[in-house]
Structure 1
Amino acid sequence: MQDTRASQKDAYALILEAIDSHIYKPGDRLVESELAERFGVSRTPIREALQRLETQSLLTRDGRSLIVASLDHSQLSELYVVRGELEGLAARLAARHAAPEEVKVLRDMLEADQKLVGDPKAMSRANRRFHKQIHLASHNRFLVQQLDLVHRSMALLATTSIAAEGRGAETLREHAAIVKAIENGDGDAAYKALRDHISQAFVTRLKLDAEAVEAAE
């Protein structure tokens, strides 16, 4: 029984990671047999993982096939509104509760991430690590759980806003302002800095989407 549960968890995590890293993008069809062969897992846990992902709206039906879901404009706007509020709250709580060691980790991330500017994929991974560290520094397990759900839905975005020209450097400057506010124990400033950061990311994404539509016409 334990081995079965472990396989189910592994299959779910493997598929979710593949979506998050854009190996599978919105609109891509997921086939049980292909996934089982790719990940070296039997078809039963793959099937159960796909059912779980469908329940979470990360996958959707296209006839009899399951495909990676996509977000329309309204869903994207709703997601960013929720993300901004929850991320801002996490920063506010981190300013109150983060241990000095947690702040040092954030500082070390800022320094290390300077070397990644110009590499959107690496910057995107670093960005997720940075935000996750702030979530953990909030010391509120229920908030962390909700933010995990939000970031799971972010995996449905086909591209990262960090790929926009100049956005990598801007992201690091915004991260620095967030860390400074947390380090100073200024909850209001931390909330505002993180909300502004999410807002700018949303603006950048909207511009990228508009450019993609224009290019397709």
Structure 2
Amino acid sequence: MVQIAQKDAHALILDAIDRGDFRPGDRLVESELADRFGVSRTPVREALQRLETQAVLMRDGRSLIVATLNHDQMAELYAVRTELEALAARLAAQHAAREEIVVLRQMVDEDEALLGDAHALARANRRFHGQIHLASHNRYLVQQLGTVHRSMALMATTSLAAEGRGEAALSEHRAIVEAIARRDGDAAANALREHLSRAFETRLREEARRL
């Protein structure tokens, strides 16, 4: 039972960070998390230690806070993410079931209704990319991408909040899906790389405006 509780506490905290309930720099208090999630303090303590090891949390004196990515860390993360995601798209073009491609198309269609709501679109974006990961049918790649996407949650803002980025991102998503549907691995990988390059460029531009 302790192992289940520990897993739940870890997942609950990660989900809260992913939703933006806890932002980079926020202090996480063991007792408050236990009350919030309705679990005992022991699994919360173990989950916090694990998240610190995973670099999701960092020390600030005696406290644990949600980690913040600096400029270089963000660039490094995008470099790794781009190559792994491009591989996932290439493999999806080879291995995705017809039904998986249908679902990917439906996701892009349904996400049109979320334009104008950056936070909802960001959640949908994560689901879309996650579906491509699964469609690669490579468990080790999925595991590595899961680690990368945990780190993506440490970015304080979403590039989809930038003016016009939501519409462009959905168009890019559609190009990725159609390349996968054509079973064109090179095109799928290139479309994914271009998509993330545009996202990174947008994020850098928004970051520069805050200087």
TM-score normalised over the length of structure 1: 0.96
Q: Secondary structure at the match of 1:41?
A: coil
1:117 maps to: 115
After superposing on structure 2, the runs of 4+ consecutive aligned residues of structure 1 that deviate more than 6 Å are none
Q: Deviations over 1:74-99 (max 9, x none)?
A: 11000000000000000001011111
AA aligned opposite 1:9: K
- Structure-2 separation of matches of 1:162 and 1:90: 22
Gaps of 5+ in 2: none
- Structure-2 separation of matches of 1:176 and 1:107: 7
Q: Secondary structure at the match of 1:27?
A: coil
Q: CA deviation at 1:207?
A: 1.0
Equivalent in 165, 168, 177 of residue 167 of structure 1: 165
Q: Secondary structure at the match of 2:59?
A: strand
Q: Does 1:183 align with 2:187?
A: no
Gaps of 5+ in 1: none
Q: For structure 1, which segment, 33-42 or 80-89, has the greater mean C-alpha deviation from structure 2 after superposition?
A: 33-42
Equivalent in 51, 73, 76 of residue 75 of structure 1: 73
1:90 maps to: 88
Q: CA deviation at 1:46?
A: 0.5
AA aligned opposite 1:127: N
Task: Indicate the RMSD between aligned Cα atoms, in angstroms.
Answer: 0.6
2:144 maps to: 146
TM-score normalised over the length of structure 2: 0.99
Q: How many residues align?
A: 211
Q: Deviations over 1:174-213 (max 9, x none)?
A: 0010001000000000000000000100001111111122
2:26 maps to: 28
- Structure-1 separation of matches of 2:208 and 2:3: 43
- Structure-1 separation of matches of 2:137 and 2:37: 34
- Structure-1 separation of matches of 2:156 and 2:53: 20
2:15 maps to: 17
AA aligned opposite 1:62: D
